[in-house]
Amino acid sequence: MSTHSIFDIAGPIMVGPSSSHTAGACKIGQYARALFHKTPKKVTFYLHGSFGEVYKGHATDRALLAGVMKFRTSDTRIKTSFDIAKEKGIAYKFIKKDLGAKCHPNTVKMVLESGKEKMTITGSSIGGGMIEIVKLNNFEISLKGVAGKYLSLVVSHDDNPEIIVKLGKKLKALGLKIANIESTSYKKKTLSVLSIEGKRITIPEAKEMETIEGVDFVRALTKIDN
């Protein structure tokens, strides 16, 4: 959306000290958690550019970890997220790394692991607490963390257009409409980001969609708020 909201100016309500390095970082963590769909046992953060340079002073590390634990950007527990993660038995590591000149200066690559499951997510904090997820596993994507009318559904599936048709039917049955689809393919697999108009999708509904043949996972990014 091109026009600003009054609450872009009067907000967000957040834990300091920096909107891009703290609030934005927390939001990237939240997205990673939502895409992974469970609390990981182990997370490794690769911090690029300005994130790598000044992450300690701005508590970027604590905010990222807090986001992975589903804390909101306004949650004062961000300050103690290291201790909380230890209590929850989440192993974490922060590594400074150059991810390439193409990346935004405030970028982090996260590797989330839980048993055999593993997911790599790269996100950038693009200013004022706004973020963008630019890569999921091997797929280049663009998921923007801007509140709006559209909800996103991230679907990983085999290279077969019929799957999307089937998915569309299921969504229609739920009273939802697909506004836009963006797909990226990599080695016979496709990752589609569906923008959906209508109500929120519940977790059981997303799970139900995962039963379609050829679909690896369905993630509904609807609950993310601040």
Partner 1 sequence: MKYSFKTAEQLLKLCKKHNLPISLIAKRYEAERCDKPIATVRRKMKQARDAMYEAVRKGIKSDEKTETKMTGGDAKNLFKQLNNLRNMMGNKVTVRAMAYATAVGEQNANMGRIVAFPTAGGAGVIPGTLFSCAEHFHAGKRKLLRGMFTSAAIGLIIAEGATLSAAKGGCQAEVGAAVSMAAAGLTEMRNGTPEQCVHAAAMALKSYLGLVCDPLGGLVEVPCIKRNALGCMVAIGASDMAIAEVESYIPFDEVVGAMKEIAEIMSPKLRETALGGLAVTKTGIEIKRKLGLI
Contacting positions for partner 1 (CB under 8 A)? 3-20, 22-23, 53-54, 56-59, 62, 74, 76, 78-79, 127-129
DSSP state of 56: T
For residues 226 and 215, give the distance between their C-alpha atoms in angstroms, rounded to a whole number: 30
Minimum distance of partner 1 from residue 207's CB (angstroms): 31
For residues 170 and 179, give the distance between their C-alpha atoms in angstroms, rounded to a whole number: 15
Residue closer to partner 1 by CB (options 118, 199) is 199
Minimum distance of partner 1 from residue 109's CB (angstroms): 22
Residue closer to partner 1 by CB (options 92, 139) is 92
Cα torsion 189, 32, 196, 21: sign: negative
Cross-strand bridge partners of residue 158: 189
Residue closer to partner 1 by CB (options 30, 190) is 30
Nearest to 153 by CA among 138, 127, 174, 125: 174
DSSP state of 202: P
Residue closer to partner 1 by CB (options 70, 79) is 79
Minimum distance of partner 1 from residue 225's CB (angstroms): 12
Minimum distance of partner 1 from residue 198's CB (angstroms): 14
Minimum distance of partner 1 from residue 113's CB (angstroms): 28
81 touches 62 (CB < 8 A): yes
Residue closer to partner 1 by CB (options 128, 168) is 128
